[in-house]
Structure 1
Amino acid sequence: MPVLSGAEPFAHDGSEDIGVLLCHGFTSTPQSMRAWGEHLAAEGCTVRCPRLPGHGTRWQDLNQTAWRDWYDTVDAEFDELRGRCRSVFVFGQSMGGTLALRLAQQHPDIAGIVLVNPSVTTLRRAARLLPVLCRVVPAASGITGDIAKPDGFELAYDRLPLRAMASLQQLWRVVRGELGQVRQPLLLFRSNTDHVVEPVNSAIVLDEVRSSDLTEVVLTDSFHVATLDHDAPTVFSGSVEFLQRIHRERAEEVV
């Protein structure tokens, strides 16, 4: 199946000091992370942003995948970066944040993680019916394009594949059950107004991880897809300051 124009994965080989893995969100594409990746590349970082299986083609393809497919993709990219760079960070938005948390649980050697409106649950009542509903209804209305910026555009499916969404629920349960294993430095950006992921998601993450270096930044002028919104510069510059500080501190510990 042809990949949508703009949805392609991207990579940049920069410094061997710092590598960053970018994880995009559910039904979205690397397009939502490209500007962030370009900013990191301009700062000299080695960057990887894979296209998750089932994404960036047609929504029906996403229903043929499950969370382990998405995780295996980012896990392989992390492994490649780990063999190339001294400090590897994982950044994720929405479901990409969920995947970043799972990677942190599985790989204590991750230097640090940056999350933008991560998801680990939902309060929507309809979600309780999803395991049954997904067997008879293939998709529902999409959840994309939640951007305050008038000219903001997210390249993503306009339908919500329900079988894949049910698998995402399974990932949420796995990640929530082991949040205490996350001990890496963590920077979390949360939009004050988010029509996709409820505030309780960030609250759960912040309450249950065991990171001693833990910071929350509230974005006041962006909706869910903050990497494409008014506060994107805040996310980009803040994440660079974070990774440079952590990498410097790690280097000092070695000395």
Structure 2
Amino acid sequence: MVTTPGTEEYFYDAKGSKAIGVLLIHGFTGSPFSLRPVADALVDSDITVRVPLLPGHGTSWQEMNRSTWHQWLETVKTSYAELSASCDKVIALGISMGGGLALRMAIEHADIAGVILINPAVMIKDPLLPLLPALRRVLPSVAAIGDDIKKPGVTEHAYPRTPLKAVHSMLELYRDTRQNLDKVTQPVLLFNSTIDHVVPRESTEIIWKKISSHDKEKVMLRNSYHVATLDHDAPEIIQRSLKFVERLSR
């Protein structure tokens, strides 16, 4: 299918030293658009980046219902392989479900130098979740979860509907990742909005308690909702992320 303009994958190869690269992973029903401010700041610092478009995203929610978390992870792994081939170190950065995928990569690839998480998801809450296995067979989609942004007039260009078969697959990713969080030993920089209407605070608490990283920092974002990279606190995310990348590049 044709990709929606503005949601395309994004990549940049540093012109100077390629000692470190950053793999940026977007969230569920979202696209690389949500991470462009961070990616652009990294590019301005001449840092190699890859921001893949996950299968089923950037097209239609119907198309997304035909994709699975295994396909999303394979796409992330492809971008990681590209970075590893040209960079001495790779950092994984993810927002929302992308944070869950970044953690999954850290679990499977101990050589990842560090992880940056922005309102990361390894669980969600909804009273209808127990009914999801049956609902997904008769109800293709429900109301959208995108555009949880405090800043007026800003959109992440997410889908207008939430595809339920894809949600079911996403929850499989979350369950599997939660069971292996203790295998995360890399330095972690975690951003968490004080108000998030998409991912519950418990998700961050689970991650924080279960990862084995000794080098970890949590930053609370007090003026942004879920898509904080497009919200009021984006400059702080960018500034701290650049410092984190610079520190790990030494």
Q: TM-score range by the shorter chain?
A: over 0.9
The within-5 A match list for 1:20-169 is 20-169=22-171
Structure-to-structure mapping, 1:174-189, within 5 angstroms:
174-189=176-191
Indicate the SS of the match to 2:128: helix
Deviation at 1:123, TM superposition (A): 2.5
Structure 1 gaps, min length 5:
249-255
Structure 2 partner of 1:251: none
- Runs of 5+ consecutive residues of structure 2 not aligned to the other structure: none
Cα offset, 1:87, TM superposition: 1.2
Q: TM-score, normalised by structure 2?
A: 0.98
Most deviating of 95-104 and 237-246: 237-246
Kept after mapping to 1: 8 A contact 2:99/2:119: yes
Contact in 1 for aligned 2:125/2:199 (Cα 8 Å):
no
Cα displacement string for residues 186-216 of structure 1 (whole angstroms, at most 9, x for unaligned residues): 0000000000001000000000000010110
Q: 1:171 aligns with which of 170, 173, 177?
A: 173
- Distance between the aligned counterparts of 1:6 and 1:12, measured in 2? 16
The answer to whether 1:241 aligns with 2:240 is no
CA distance in 2, matches of 1:74, 1:153: 24
What are the within-5 Å matches in structure 2 for residues 217-236 of structure 1? 217-236=219-238
1:204 to 195, 203, 206: 206
Distance 2:133 2:75 in 1: 24
2:247, 2:89 → 1: CA distance?
Answer: 11
Residue 2 of structure 2 corresponds to residue 6 of structure 1: no
Segments ≥4 residues shifted beyond 6 Å = none
Cα distance, 1:151 vs structure 2: 2.3
Q: Give TM-score, length-normalised by structure 1.
A: 0.96
Residue identity opposite 1:2 in structure 2: V
Identity between Structure 1 and Structure 2 (%): 46
Q: What SS is found at the alignment partner of 1:28?
A: coil
What count of residue pairs does the alignment treat as equivalent? 248
Structure 2 distance, partners of 1:241, 1:151, is 29
